[in-house]
Chain A
Amino acid sequence: MYSFRTTGFNGYAVQYSPFFDSRLACAASANFGLVGNGRLYVLGLTPDGIVAEKWFDTQDGLFDCAWSENHENQIVVATGDGSVKLFDISLSDYPIQSWREHSREVFSANWNLVDKSTFCTSSWDGLIKIWSPVRPTSLSTLQPPGGQLSCTYAASYSPYNATMLASCSSDSFLRLWDPRAGGMPTNSVYAHNGAEILSLDWNKYRPEVLATSSVDRTIKIWDLRFLGNNSSSSASPVNELLGHEYAIRKIAWSPHAPELIMSASYDMTARVWIDSTALKQPSTTFSSGRQPARRPNAGLRSLWDKHTEFVVGCDWSLWGAEGWVCTVGWDEMVWVWDVRSAVVQ
């Protein structure tokens, strides 16, 4: 395990470079992101530990970052003042592009893994925006239906479909979008029974599976084939992972295994879980069949308890031995660790 201290800044998000096995980006904010500056760290994994290769300061806090999928030096960041900024790490100090369209905190940024020329952001203004790094304005805006917009905490592209997005919001809805189909979600699921959904991630091996995590302390695994039609309140997840003691701030599926998912929580732990539904065919239960009660910590594989404050961001290394991950928290710590070394007996 390796660590780095983001002194004076509390970590919000971390991501491995898709181009270099020894490079990480970390978005951080002063004063826990409540008020003050932000800082984007570019970290290098060296034989001597983790070093800051570069950093960029911003006026307001940073809540998320996403490496460009087609330019090895570019990173987009989500900023508290509503701006979206693109940095080139071969340059210094200033972003090469800054877009001001969101009216409130931008909370997530996600690069399109299929059509690598676009990325999306989501904001507390409720909106999801799709951008191209070479355009001065957003390409399109997706607005959830309903009058009072709730915070859209995350939006993320399908790793299989260049025009498919999922978003999750404080109104407890998981929404699916296809911008080609117009401005309305193609599906909406009341996924956490009223609790805010803070994070979502698409499974990298099962195109129809994604997970959501919530303030209700659960991770729910969804199969898009079983969601039913619009806002069916009776849609049931195919699996639920219980055990975190506080809100789950970030989840990420493993790039190496279809069943592994990592979570970062306000309970100061990061955990790795086995989604048992990945290991077998979906059971053909009776229509009136009873789902087995899900026990706390069923499926828990690894637990990381070195953080001493909220764990807010996490990511898997695409590189080398399967199982290296990075977590970042409000204790100003970036930890790089191996999930195989933290297995729960």
Chain B
Amino acid sequence: MDRLSNLASQLAPNDASAVSKLLEKHPDDVVIVGAYRSALTKGGKGGFKDTTAADILTAVLKGLIERTGVDPKYLGDVCVGNVLAPGSGVTEHRAACLAAGIPYSVPYISINRQCSSGLMSVDHIFKGIKTGDIDAGIGGGVESMSINFGPGSVSEFSDFLANHEEGKKCLIPMGVTSENVAEAYGVTRKMQDEFAADSYRKAEAAQKAGKFKEEIIPIKTKFIDPKTEQVSEIVVSEDDGIRPGVTPESLSKIRPAFKKDGTTHAGNASQISDGAAAVLLARRSFAQKQGWPIVGKFVDCAVVGVPPEVMGVGPAVAIPAVLERNGLTKDDVDIYEINEAFASQCLYSVLDCKIDPAKVNPNGGAIAFGHPLGCTGSRQIATLIQEFKQYNKKIGLTSMCIGTGMGAAAIITAE
């Protein structure tokens, strides 16, 4: 019966084509040498409330270089995403690079595509390596929402723009776009609360199990006690936004924040947080020559535009775009790290793409531990790299919605 078993093996489910191609190793791949982050702490209250973005960034860059053992003189570029600081922190973050021990010969650039900035920075380095301009580089993201969040972070619109039918849509508050998504696509309050409670539950379990330990670089900083105004030195090594014991019932009691009869509230939206993350990338051939560790591969990143008034649907458009470009299906991906800007939009995107919810944010998301805007894109990569090991998975996809109407999605594989 050799013939039968031979035939059966030829008919067996075979995922070779696109998937195996994805996992192939070639010298010109862009690999991830290391990806780490700071803890994420509550804006205005948490461990980094008195620490500037540049200082958090300095510590994370330093930690990344130490943990990967890379000599920073080989870096061809450093790119850091930031949304709120004036000029996206281009001056103080260059200083942060120097303070972290990166020589002046390594250039620096700030990047800002709103909540995807931390992914765009990595994509910028990825493209530099792919085109052959550089051999290695750091893409990262940082945000201090404690210090830089507020009306000052957006320049005023001219009367012309503020009254332009399309242009003015870019001024719609994010919370209102969340309500728009919920209303347009029928994502009920109950669904959102259940999704949010699940994020808390997963994050709580992951934190208890020590699943964030590997990816977090502990940072020593100063902290002013809000009551006594005493300055003390603390080490921030854990996300402090994760509330234990959150249930859909407890969330159901919170009042909507943006509309009287709305569905979005403080408990099912991302938290305002501070934090930084950074990813060191290199061409595989270069990393191998230098003897650097290789923990993942950055495969591709797609960015798309969507209507500004429902900007939260970004992932629902970006995820299929990046999958199709690489010949993959949604089921080929093992883990999705999708930013939970709002339960409404994240859940909508998951449902619209028909993604198995069990594959989404296995260690919880921004609703549970925060969304420091510019940091998130890099943070999700740091988390994904650890999740590959924790859940023994190979193919990851990270995605987020982007204010003013965009979506980004990137494919990353384990090594």
Q: Which positions in A face B, CB cutoff 8 Å?
A: 33-35, 80, 104-105, 124, 151, 192-196, 198, 214-218, 234, 236, 242, 246-247, 266, 286-290, 293-296
Contact = CB atoms under 8 A, between A and B. Distances in A.
A288 B16 contact: no
Contacts of B24: 193
B6 A214 contact: no
B326 to A, nearest CB: 5
Contacts of A242: 17-18, 327
Chain B interface mostly helix, strand, loop or mixed? helix
A217 B14 contact: yes
A293 B327 contact: yes
B10 A196 contact: yes
Contacts of A194: 16, 20
A311 B11 CA distance: 13
Given A216-B20, A288-B28, A295-B324, A198 B10 contact: yes
Contacts of B158: none
B132 A215 contact: no
Contacts of B4: 34
A296 B283 CA distance: 28
Contact of A217 (B9, B17, B283): B17
Contacts of B6: 124, 151
Q: How large is the interface on B (under 10, 10 to 19, 20 to 34, 35 or more residues)?
A: 20 to 34
A287 B132 CA distance: 8
Contact of B9 (A104, A105, A196, A236): A196
B150 to A, nearest CB: 41
B283 A288 contact: yes
Given A216-B16, A289-B132, 7 more contacts: A104-B2, A151-B6, A192-B16, A193-B16, A193-B21, A294-B327, A295-B325
A221 to B, nearest CB: 14
B107 interface: no
Nearest 6 pairs of A and B residues by beta carbon: A216-B16, A288-B132, A195-B16, A288-B28, A193-B20, A247-B10
A114 B2 CA distance: 35
Contacts of B21: 193
Interface in B66-121: none
Contact of B14 (A104, A216, A295): A216
Nearest to B1: A34
B222 interface: no
B16 A214 contact: yes
Contacts of A214: 16
Contacts of B10: 196, 198, 215, 247, 266
Contacts of B16: 192-195, 214-218
15 contacts: A34-B3, A104-B2, A193-B16, A193-B20, A195-B14, A195-B20, A216-B16, A218-B16, A242-B327, A247-B10, A247-B11, A286-B131, A286-B132, A287-B28, A295-B327
